Structure 1
Amino acid sequence: MQNYLITGANRGIGLELTRQLVTQGGALVFATCRAPERADNLNELARDNPGKVTVLQLDVNDESSIAAAVQAVSAAAASLDVLINNAGIFPKGDHASRGLGNLTSEALSELITTNAVSPLIVTQACRDLLQLAENPRVVMISSGLGSVQATRGGPYAYRMSKAAMNMAARVLAFDGAMAGITTITTHPGWVQTDMGGAGADITATDSAAGLLALISGLKSADNGRFFRYDGAELDW
């Protein structure tokens, strides 16, 4: 039995990852979100699959909430095999409001905190449990927009936050290698979710399936690399 912790599991990619892990079998998923009482789809999935999904409250921007969730995992599982840092936000408003001339330090800070700082803090909190696993893996759900090689424009705050997340993952990969922890960064694709919109390229089903195939096949040599959901390697 593999133990997974997924942040932001109440909708979109996080919910679909949870659903597919349950369907595949062999996994206990600690599915976390900020407000479980409003996570109707996730709660239904847990009710229909007793012993396979545990729904936990975890606000990635609240360190006491993170600690409580990790404590709950520790009480239920001897180790943590896979941590998927999926929770994230996209800037509010239309394209113009996210561009130069309309930026605010508050909006920039909010995205960088949620999308880059918080996954690092969650990973830090899970480190001891990860080290107890035979083949521990940390997966950062980032974006191709976080690549500094991608020279097109885009929302400043989101691109900066994902670039910062990518750097955090690179440093985590270095620090975790001695403990046998494999850390990768992933681009899930432009996905048809609340964040990606209905006009996006791929479904959450296809994105999650690709990500899980990638995760299951990870080797220590993959530590510190940046992958697309279909396994193609991306430039930093």
Structure 2
Amino acid sequence: MNENLFTPFTIPTLLNLPAVVPIILFPMLLFPTSKHLVNNRLIAIQQNLTQLILKQMMMIHNTKGRTWSLMLVSLITFIATTNLLGLLPHTFTPTTQLSMNLAMAIPLWAGTVITGLRFKTKNSLAHFLPQGTPTLLIPMLVIIETISLFIQPVALAVRLTANITAGHLLMHLIGSAVLALSTINFLATSLTFVLLLLLTILEIAVALIQAYVFTLLVSLYLHDNT
């Protein structure tokens, strides 16, 4: 029986119930915590990476924006772990679902917008109409800026979904080609397998980069509103 190309993106079920919730919660079990005064090497590496991420994300923020530190670190950790786990065989990647990415992007985007309207009302509203705009262009520019504002969370979600889905599809196609060529030509199979290994390395990088890009854009939206 031939496997459907989009089978890896179908939501798995357990006892006829969607298994997305335990899949989403599973990455949290992979991060160790220490109750002792002396940490081991794994926890020390984890803390150093967290501090590096915080330094990169928070260096442009003021005191108000730095209150989002825990949220942004948790976000990049969750997306990166989920993307990496989805590269394992017989696994499911929740970030390939546009609905889930929208569920992450919309509340975060709305939080930054509400923060800007609350603490920087004049500056936030000023973005809808640049200074010196001709009178005839005012209605059009207000409409364009409003549309661009509401497109931001959609762009966040679609970017993450498209990049993760495209990589998984390409890996699926090349993996199928390796299996098909294995009984025909050894040299072609070897070359295709090397290509698959290189693509896997690239996908690991893409998984981390997309987590960083998603979180960085949320951080920039926050910076514009604080």
Same fold by TM-score greater than 0.5:
no
Question: In proportion to residue count, which structure has more helix?
Answer: 2
Structure having the higher Rg:
2
Higher relative contact order (CA 8 A, sep 6+): 2
Into which bin does the TM-score normalised by the smaller protein fall? Answer: under 0.3
Question: TM-score, normalized by length of structure 1?
Answer: 0.26
Question: In proportion to residue count, which structure has more strand?
Answer: 1
Question: TM-score, normalized by length of structure 2?
Answer: 0.26
